Structure 1
C-alpha cells in the first residue's frame, strides 16, 4: 500500500467510540464550522458564533469513520430543533412504503408493538398506526414530539435513547420491531444506543436501521453530509462489527436511494436470526472490493473533496462574473457544511429558501444568508437556483419547474458541480 494514499497519521488520545482503538488516521478535515442547524434570528446577526473543528477519523481496527470534536447531543437535539421530517413528500412516501413492507413481511398486527427511535414528528409511525398497530415514538426534541402527539396521535417519549431508556420502555412490553432511520450516525455513545436496541427488542423481534452508506459518500465526494450532528459515518462492515459486540446479528440489507445512497439493515438477537441473505452477502462483497477494510481508500478521500470544492467555486465565480443572480434552495444541514467549507456567503448567494416555516425568517449558520419561503424565488426571478439538499433535487426541480419560464436554471453541487437547464 502506497504511503501517500493512507490517511494522515496524527498523535491522538481520543479512542474510537465503537471499539476503543486510539484514532490516528484523518479521513478528511473540513476546517472550522458552526453547528449545522444553529440558525439565528436577524437581530442576532451581530453576535459572534461558535465554530468547532470539523475533522473526521477512520478507526484502523473496526473502520468506523467518526468526527473529532464531540459536542454534547443536547447541542443539536433540543426543544427548538429545526428539522421536521414531514416537510419532504418523498420522505413521507418512503416511510409509507416501509410500513407496508414491514407489516406484510413480519406479520404485524394489533398485538404487535412498533417503536421508532428518533421518531421526529411522527412521520413514520402514523402509517403503522393507520393499520391498527400499537406504536411508540422516542425522540429528544420536545417540539417534534409535541407535533407527533398533537397532529398525528403518536405517543412519544421525550428522551435520548440508550440502555436506560430501553429498560424503562421494556418494562411495559418489549418491541416486535424497532426502527431507526438516520439516527445511528447521530448518537455520541454508539455502544449505549446499540445496547439499548438489544435491551428493548423482543425475542424473535427485528431491528431495522437506515443510514447513509459510507461507500456512497466516498465514491461521490458527499463531504457535505459531514457535520457535527453526525458523530459517525457508517459502512456495513463497521455496523456489523458494532452490532455483533452487542449480541445482535445482521441478516439482511437493502439499498435505498435516500440521502444519495443509503442502506437499510435488518438485525435480530444473535443465534435466532435467519441465514444471511444473498443481498447482504452482495453488499459485503461490494465493500470488500472497494477496499473498506483497508486504509488506502480512506486516504484518497480528502483530495476528492478539495477537487469538488474547487469545481463548485469555479462555476459560481464564472456565473457571478457574468452578473448572474444565484439563490439557494434548502436550509439543510448538509448545505451549511458545503457553504461554510467552500466559503460561499452573500457575495455568491443572494438568499436561501426552505419549505419549512420553522426555518423561514432565520439566518443560515456561519454565512448569515437569510432564509425565506420558496415563493420568493418567483418574486425575484433569479438566474440560478443552487440545490443544497441534492438528495431531494428531483422533488425540488418539479416543485420549482416554473423558473424555466424566465430562463432560470438549477445547479447541483455534488458529486461535481453542474448546471441543469
Structure 2
C-alpha cells in the first residue's frame, strides 16, 4: 500500500502485521480440502495525515459478498439491537407513515423487518444474492446491488429520497470510501439523516480486538477519520453514540452538509478521548503489535497445556473474526478438533486456512468437552446464557480477547 485511500497521502505507518490469511468468510466444502487455497497479506497501517487505519484492497467486495456466509438473524442479540434502533429512530427523527427508509448492506432483513412491521416503506440494498433472497422471502423489499453513486441516484429516481439511510457494519467493508459516501448522499433526502454503525478503532486498540482485522474490513475508523470520510461525500457528522456492539462501536448520525447543525457535545467528548489515547499521533499505535503477540502466546499455551493434560477443547462459533484469530495463532484440529455454529450454511464446511470442521451446536452436549473456546467473544453476555448447559458436566468457557479468560459456565436457571 503506497497511498491512503481517503486522502491520497503516502505517509503510511505500520500498526500490526498478521501475516497472510485466506479471506475470513471463504469456508471450505469437503471437496475443496485437497485444492489450493489463496492467502493474502493482512497488514494494518495508518495514514499519518488523516489517521484512517486501513489494509490494502487485495480482495474486491464482489469476491466476498456476491455469496455470503453470514446471516445476521442467527444472532438473537443482534436482532434485538436492530429492533431497538428502529424504535428509537422512529421517535428521534421522527418517522411517520409517509417516511421512506433505506438500509445499505441490509443482509437478510434482520433490521428492515422491524420497519416493515411498523408499516413504513423501506428498501434494502444488499449485494449478496443468497442473503438478499432470504430477506425477500421474509417480506423485506431488497435490491441485489452494491452501493455506488449511480446506484444511489437510480434508487432515488425510482423510489424517491430516503428520510433515513442506515449503513450498519458496512462502512468498513468498502475500499472506495469516497464513492460509497457519495452513494449515501445520493440516497438521502436534502433534510434527511444517515445513520452508520462501525467498529471504533479506539476500543479495537485498547481492548486488543485484533481479530476484527480481516480482508472484508478495508478501514478502521475513529470519529475524527470518519468525519473526514463523511465530508468527502457531502455529509456532515452531527452526533455520535458509543455502543457495546462488536466489542465497541460508534453510531454516526450525519446529514447533508447544507442542513447539518453544529456537532453535539458528544462528538467533542469522543474526539477528546481519541486524542488523549494518542490516536492522532503514532504514539497511540506503537504498543499494539506487542499486545497482539501476547494474546497469541497465551492462547497457544493454554491449548497446548490442555492437550498435554488430556483435556478436550472445542470451539463455539465460526465468525469471520474467529478465522483471523485461528490463522494468526496457527491453530489446527490437533488443538481444536471442531467448532460449532448456529448457521446451517456452515455445517459440514471447514474454516479457511486452519480447516477445522464446523458442526451443529448439538455436538457440544453430545461430547461434553472440558472447555469451549468462544470465538464470537463480542457476544459474551448472550453466549454465556446460551452455553449454560456446559455447566451440567463441569465444563468451562474460554474467551481469548481482550486477554485469555477462563470462566465457569453459568448454571441453568433452577439448577445448582
Q: TM-score scaled by structure 2?
A: 0.96
Deviations 1:41-93 (A, max 9, x none): 122211121111111110111111111252111111013x1100000000000
Correspondence for 2:414: none
Greater mean alpha carbon deviation, residues 181-190 or residues 37-46: 37-46
Cα RMSD for the two superposed structures: 1.0
- Between the aligned partners of 1:47 and 1:73, the Cα distance in structure 2 is 23
- Between the aligned partners of 2:94 and 2:25, the Cα distance in structure 1 is 39
Q: Secondary structure at the match of 2:14?
A: strand
Shift of 1:111: 1.1
Correspondence for 1:347: 334
Q: Counterparts of 1:318-397 in structure 2 under 5 Å?
A: 318-397=305-384
Moved over 2 A (4+): none
Correspondence for 2:250: 263
2:89 matched to 1:95? Answer: no
Cα pair 2:57 2:175 within 8 Å, conserved:
no
Q: Counterparts of 1:8-19 in structure 2 under 5 Å?
A: 14-19=2-7
Cα pair 2:299 2:400 within 8 Å, conserved:
yes
2:17 matched to 1:29? Answer: yes
Deviations 1:198-242 (A, max 9, x none): 111101100000001000000011110000011111111100011
Deviations 1:129-182 (A, max 9, x none): 11111000001001111111112x111111111101001101021110000110
Greater mean alpha carbon deviation, residues 323-332 or residues 392-401: 392-401
Correspondence for 1:62: 50
Q: Secondary structure at the match of 2:268?
A: helix
Correspondence for 1:291: 278
Counterpart of 1:416 (choices 403, 406, 411) is 403
Deviations 1:320-377 (A, max 9, x none): 2211100000010000000000011111101000000011110010111000110000
Cα pair 2:179 2:233 within 8 Å, conserved:
no
- Between the aligned partners of 1:209 and 1:156, the Cα distance in structure 2 is 19
Cα pair 1:70 1:188 within 8 Å, conserved:
no
| Structure 1: 5+ residue stretches without partners | 1-11
Correspondence for 1:166: 152
Shift of 1:299: 2.2
Cα pair 1:70 1:231 within 8 Å, conserved:
no
| Structure 2: 5+ residue stretches without partners | 409-416
Correspondence for 1:4: none
Correspondence for 1:185: 172
- Between the aligned partners of 1:178 and 1:99, the Cα distance in structure 2 is 12
Shift of 1:397: 1.8
Shift of 1:405: 1.1
Greater mean alpha carbon deviation, residues 367-376 or residues 293-302: 293-302
Correspondence for 2:411: none
Cα pair 2:40 2:58 within 8 Å, conserved:
no
- Between the aligned partners of 1:217 and 1:370, the Cα distance in structure 2 is 28
